[in-house]
């Protein structure tokens, strides 16, 4: 495609994904992958800072979140499909390999993309969530399994969809985790649509279909991993183990006193880190 053409949507396997394409049209592309229960709006604080640095940002509403990309079956949310969705976006942009930044579940997809398709990734930046193999080891050797109790609760039918509301348990849980009340309402408001809630939860419900071999592959592109010590969902063990699974230049940064919601809470600090990481590889 032309460098002067914006992307509002892209398609894959009959699904239509919405995209926020912003910043200098001729800038080096940065793909921003949101997590649960957020969407592309979670990058509203960070994206303008990247634009000032001359980067073009492509932030999709991922599978389950875009109205045109909400398959019902949980198998449709396997990591192989989530990764292929991002490859389709990068190919649609037609601008060559992209810098990829992911938070929460978006970080998990970014790790997988960098390991499986390094030809599409210029650099990787993962926020909050460690390499999948490091996370599994942490689950088996630390209190991480207790912090991840909700992953098991989300396997239940119907009930999780009912509690993901801006005025119920879901709201209280997000605020207790450190998210601001306004951001929690922003993210949970759309969950009143049960098809969206189901799509978001299916990322967890598809976890039994993850291939252990695929999840353990090393990343061989320049990598920045940012974790925050106020994260109630991710303990320190997985982040400390992550360096074992990166065979490339690797930087690990810890944000002190910051909650799990790094893009909203610490956008300026992340921008500073990305400024060094991305520009070194542009």
Q: How far is the first Cα of the chain from the last one, in angstroms, to the nearest whole number?
A: 20
Query: In this predicted model, which residue has the larger pLDDT, 280 or 222?
Result: 222
What per-residue confidence (pLDDT) applies to 3? Answer: 59
**Per the omega criterion (within 30 degrees of 0), is the bond before 37 cis?**
yes
- For 199-216, the pLDDT digits (tens) are 999 999 999 998 888 789
Per-residue pLDDT, averaged over 243-258, amounts to 98
Given a cut of 60, is residue 19 above it in pLDDT? Answer: yes
Given a cut of 80, is residue 183 above it in pLDDT? Answer: yes
What per-residue confidence (pLDDT) applies to 212? Answer: 81
Break the chain into its structural domains and give their ranges: 9-281
What per-residue confidence (pLDDT) applies to 278? Answer: 92
- For 126-173, the pLDDT digits (tens) are 999 999 999 999 999 999 999 999 999 999 999 999 999 999 899 999
Q: With pLDDT > 90 as the criterion, what percentage of the chain qualifies?
A: 93
What per-residue confidence (pLDDT) applies to 160? Answer: 96
pTM for the structure as a whole: 0.97
What per-residue confidence (pLDDT) applies to 279? Answer: 82
What per-residue confidence (pLDDT) applies to 210? Answer: 86
Given a cut of 60, is residue 6 above it in pLDDT? Answer: yes
Given a cut of 70, is residue 191 above it in pLDDT? Answer: yes
- Strand, coil or helix: 207: helix
Task: Report how far residue 280's alpha carbon sits from residue 282's, in angstroms, rounded to the nearest whole number.
Answer: 6
What per-residue confidence (pLDDT) applies to 281? Answer: 67
Q: Is the dihedral of CA 164, 169, 170, 171 positive or negative?
A: positive
- For 111-134, the pLDDT digits (tens) are 999 999 999 999 999 999 999 999
Task: Report how far residue 279's alpha carbon sits from residue 275's, in angstroms, rounded to the nearest whole number.
Answer: 6
Instruction: Give me the count of residues in the chain.
Output: 282
Q: Are strands 15-22 and 28-33 parallel, antiparallel or unpaired?
A: unpaired
Task: Report how far residue 25's alpha carbon sits from residue 213's, in angstroms, rounded to the nearest whole number.
Answer: 38
Task: Report how far residue 123's alpha carbon sits from residue 207's, in angstroms, rounded to the nearest whole number.
Answer: 26
What per-residue confidence (pLDDT) applies to 265? Answer: 98
Query: In this predicted model, which residue has the larger pLDDT, 214 or 55?
Result: 55
CATH fold, domain 9-281, is Rossmann fold (3.40.50)
């Amino acid at each position: 495609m032309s460098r002067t053409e914006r992307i509002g949507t892209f398609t894959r396997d009959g699904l239509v994904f919405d995209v926020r394409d912003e910043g200098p049209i001729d800038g080096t592309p940065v793909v921003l992958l949101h997590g649960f229960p957020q969407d592309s709006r979670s990058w509203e604080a960070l994206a303008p800072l990247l634009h000032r640095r001359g980067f073009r940002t492509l932030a999709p509403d991922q599978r389950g979140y875009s109205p045109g990309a909400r398959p019902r079956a949980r198998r449709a949310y396997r990591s192989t499909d989530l990764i292929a969705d991002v490859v389709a976006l990068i190919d649609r942009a037609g601008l060559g390999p992209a810098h990829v930044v992911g938070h929460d579940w978006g970080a998990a997809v970014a790790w997988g993309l960098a390991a499986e398709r390094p030809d599409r990734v210029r650099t990787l930046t993962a926020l909050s969530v460690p390499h999948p193999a490091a996370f599994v080891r942490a689950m088996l050797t630390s209190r991480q399994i207790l912090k991840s109790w909700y992953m098991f609760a989300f396997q239940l039918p119907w009930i999780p969809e009912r509690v993901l509301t801006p005025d119920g348990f879901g709201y209280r849980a997000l605020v207790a985790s450190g998210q601001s009340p306004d951001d929690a309402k922003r993210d949970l408001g759309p969950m009143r649509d049960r098809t969206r809630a189901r799509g978001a939860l299916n990322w967890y419900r598809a976890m039994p279909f993850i291939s252990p071999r695929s999840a353990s592959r090393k990343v061989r592109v320049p990598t920045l991993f940012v974790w925050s010590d106020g994260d109630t969902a991710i303990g320190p063990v997985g982040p400390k183990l992550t360096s074992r699974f990166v065979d490339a230049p690797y930087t690990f940064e810890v944000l002190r006193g910051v909650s799990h919601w790094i893009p909203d809470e610490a956008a300026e600090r992340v921008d500073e880190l990305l400024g060094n990481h991305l520009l070194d590889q542009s």
